[in-house]
């Protein structure tokens, strides 16, 4: 089954400040804040929700189709995805823009200061979902606001089941707009914080929204995840990680597992466990796209974590 991934393609610029922000930001001076941090360590990672989800689906043996927008600085990223064999026929380069980029500075207390430039992402609505793409399943992940709304309408109009994954884009939408996504989607996936914000914005409990969907998935970090489907609740435990190195991209790895399970016709317990395992594999590596796993390793890890076969 062709899985269409509508979402962001971005560079993550990650800097480590070998000190503490609190030692340089004086509370009585924040009205004239002017600080500079020397960051000897800088990494540039390939990221964005669409890029990360596609990377993980490729690890699982799927052939995802990415729909996104990139800028003039995209050749390095595009060439990487092509080498991985990921279908980029629906990725549009927008002239005179930059690819979406996050600039993240972390101090010794794990506090973060982040700036995000959407760049070409703001033009995601220029991509259109059509029946000719051959998608049987899709995800609308964080992207430009207009693009997310448009792609959801197009998918619903074509009768293509899709997962709504608002992620960090959730605060962009009003309660009415979020309810429209829920009405159109077949699946909704949120983390704990996003779930609470979704309830606050819509005035509806997650348990009340779940019956409108084929499944509502709530991830809870180290506490595992919960899948509400078919009037039942499925509690999914965390898979054991080899190491806890970097949570960046774990949610995207989890969603790739969900999509793969749905497309493969797995039941919800098996789908959730695969998603959990993909998140655990990712957390042991820095960045969103530096982990790897073979099919044999995946089967072995699945059995060792859950006592059943993948």
Phi-psi region of 35 (alpha: psi -120 to 50; beta: other; left: phi over 0): beta
Helix (H, G, I), strand (E, B) or coil at 138: strand
Residues 13 and 76: their CA atoms lie apart, in Å, by 14
Find, among 210, 286, 294, 288, the residue nearest to 254 by Cα: 288
Find, among 130, 168, 166, 175, the residue nearest to 148 by Cα: 166
- What's the token pair of residue 104? 């993240």
How many C-beta atoms lie closer than 10 Å to residue 104's C-beta? 17
Residues 91 and 140: their CA atoms lie apart, in Å, by 15
Residues 146 and 302: their CA atoms lie apart, in Å, by 39
Helix (H, G, I), strand (E, B) or coil at 109: coil
Contacts of 206 by beta carbon, 8 Å cutoff, 6+ apart: 190, 195, 198, 199, 216, 218, 228
> Which strand (E) or helix (H) includes residue 156?
helix 145-158
Residue of 63, 252, 267, 309 marked catalytic: 252
Say whether 252 is catalytic: yes
Active site residues: 252
């Amino acid at each position: 089954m062709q899985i269409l991934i509508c979402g962001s393609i971005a560079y993550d610029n990650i800097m480590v400040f070998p000190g503490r922000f609190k030692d340089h930001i004086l509370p009585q001076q924040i009205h004239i804040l002017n600080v500079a941090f020397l960051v000897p360590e800088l990494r540039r990672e390939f990221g964005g929700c669409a890029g990360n989800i596609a990377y993980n689906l490729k690890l699982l043996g799927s052939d995802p189709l990415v729909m996104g927008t990139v800028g003039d600085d995209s050749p390095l990223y595009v060439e990487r995805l092509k080498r991985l064999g990921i279908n980029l026929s629906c990725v549009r380069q927008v002239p005179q823009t930059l690819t979406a980029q996050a600039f993240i500075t972390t101090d010794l207390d794990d506090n973060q200061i982040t700036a995000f430039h959407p760049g070409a992402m703001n033009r995601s609505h220029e991509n259109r979902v059509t029946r000719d793409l051959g998608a049987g399943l899709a995800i609308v992940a964080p992207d430009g606001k207009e693009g997310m709304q448009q792609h959801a309408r197009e998918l619903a109009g074509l009768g293509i089941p899709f997962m709504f994954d608002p992620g960090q884009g959730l605060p962009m939408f009003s309660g009415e707009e979020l309810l429209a996504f829920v009405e159109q989607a077949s699946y909704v996936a949120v983390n704990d914080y996003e779930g609470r914000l979704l309830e606050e914005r819509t005035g509806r409990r997650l348990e009340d929204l779940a019956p409108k969907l084929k499944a509502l998935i709530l991830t809870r970090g180290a506490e595992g995840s919960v899948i509400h489907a078919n009037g039942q609740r499925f509690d999914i435990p965390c898979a054991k990680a080899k190491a806890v190195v970097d949570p960046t991209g774990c949610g995207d790895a989890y969603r790739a597992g969900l999509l793969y399970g749905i497309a493969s016709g797995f039941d919800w317990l098996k789908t959730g466990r695969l998603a959990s395992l993909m998140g655990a594999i990712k957390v042991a590596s820095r960045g969103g796209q530096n982990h790897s796993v073979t099919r044999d390793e995946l089967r072995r890890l699945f059995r060792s974590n859950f006592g059943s076969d993948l």
